[in-house]
Structure 1
Amino acid sequence: MNEIMSKLLSQEEELQFASFTNEDALQLGLLIVEIAKAEFEKGIAVHIENDEHPLFTHYMKGTSQGNRYWIHTKKNVVNHYGNSSLYVGEMFKDKGTTFKESSDLPESDYQGEGGSFPITVRGQGKVGTVTVTGLTGEEDHYLAVEGIRKYLSRK
């Protein structure tokens, strides 16, 4: 396991909720949009869902139909592997290959690119996903993580 993977797993361990409600999803989504507006000049799309259904979706100005594809494919990676989509992509790189070459999953439904992060409740496990798209995979990941970090610090 490389240094990047260790850091990403540390984030997943650190950024866990005591509980996660529909109201948490709304407030987290709005916070991520606020951070994106303050720190980036480009629009993003944010999608938050529990393991049952969508709870928050917002497409900022400048997003497109393509953002739907990236939300779908990145969150599917988190749901399949249980880790952030950036971690999964790094996991394949660490093995000397790529997600595309070696995952045996269809590109139409899975992409090992950064931007989707598991929503985890301590003692319960993964209960959903937060997905950001519109920037680089690393920037999308940063927005998801920074949003969760700031949200948890307010609670």
Structure 2
Amino acid sequence: MLRMSDDLIGRLEQQERDLVFTRFDNTDAWRLGSLLVAKATGKDLPVAIDIRRGTQQLFHAALPGSVADNDTWIDRKVRVVQRYGASSYLVGRRLAAKGQQLDAGMGVEPALYAAHGGAFPIRIKDVGVVGVVTVSGLPQADDHALVVEAVREFLSL
């Protein structure tokens, strides 16, 4: 019998297989970031939005109601994607399914890494992960869902 966490993990893995870019440059970061801002402001969401390619920050917006701590969460979530090559939510759900946490026992400093939803890999077909798009400010499943919704729409344009 499939457990609820197995079903969620399967859906998250499918999102990562489906949401693959053919290219990603600075203009794409601006367009994707602007799309996220429009979606978040349309719902009055108190989020910070961040897009990076490699280590370069290409887009950042702090919407009304977001706080400086959201930027710290963004950095921690981004490190998870960069280290594990998967969304921060997927990494967290995989660990939770095994009764584990991202901590010193796994060789990471918890103050620097957060396996909480909201950071999603920018994966280019036949290349791999080249960047990260992140939202922080909502419950983790909602942060993740907002990013996925925007990436899905962006890729369909």
Partner of 1:109: 112
Q: Structure 1 CA distance, aligned partners of 2:143 and 2:103? A: 19
> CA contact under 8 A between 1:119 and 1:130: conserved in structure 2?
yes
Partner of 1:135: 138
Q: Structure 2 CA distance, aligned partners of 1:119 and 1:140? A: 16
Q: Structure 2 CA distance, aligned partners of 1:73 and 1:94? A: 21
Q: Structure 2 CA distance, aligned partners of 1:142 and 1:42? A: 13
Partner of 1:30: helix, strand, or coil? helix
Please give the TM-score of this superposition, normalised by the length of structure 2: 0.92
Q: Which runs of 5+ in 2 are unaligned?
A: none
> CA contact under 8 A between 1:92 and 1:102: conserved in structure 2?
no
Equivalent position amino acid for 2:85 in 1: G
**Equivalent position to 1:29, from 21, 33, 37:** 33
Q: Structure 1 CA distance, aligned partners of 2:33 and 2:122? A: 12
- Following TM superposition, by how much is the alpha carbon of 1:55 offset from its aligned partner in structure 2, in angstroms? 0.4
User: Cα RMSD over matched residues?
Assistant: 1.4
- Following TM superposition, by how much is the alpha carbon of 1:102 offset from its aligned partner in structure 2, in angstroms? 5.0
Equivalent position amino acid for 2:18 in 1: E
Q: Which runs of 4+ in 1 moved over 2 A?
A: 97-104
Partner of 2:24: 20
> CA contact under 8 A between 1:100 and 1:112: conserved in structure 2?
no
Residues 24 and 146 of structure 1: CA distance in aligned 2, closer, same or farther (over 3 Å)? same
Identity of aligned residues (%): 36
> CA contact under 8 A between 2:33 and 2:60: conserved in structure 1?
yes
Q: Structure 2 CA distance, aligned partners of 1:72 and 1:86? A: 14
Q: Which runs of 5+ in 1 are unaligned?
A: none
Q: How does 1:61-76 map to 2 (within 5 A)?
A: 61-76=64-79
Is 1:11 matched with 2:28?
no
Please give the TM-score of this superposition, normalised by the length of structure 1: 0.93
> CA contact under 8 A between 1:100 and 1:111: conserved in structure 2?
no
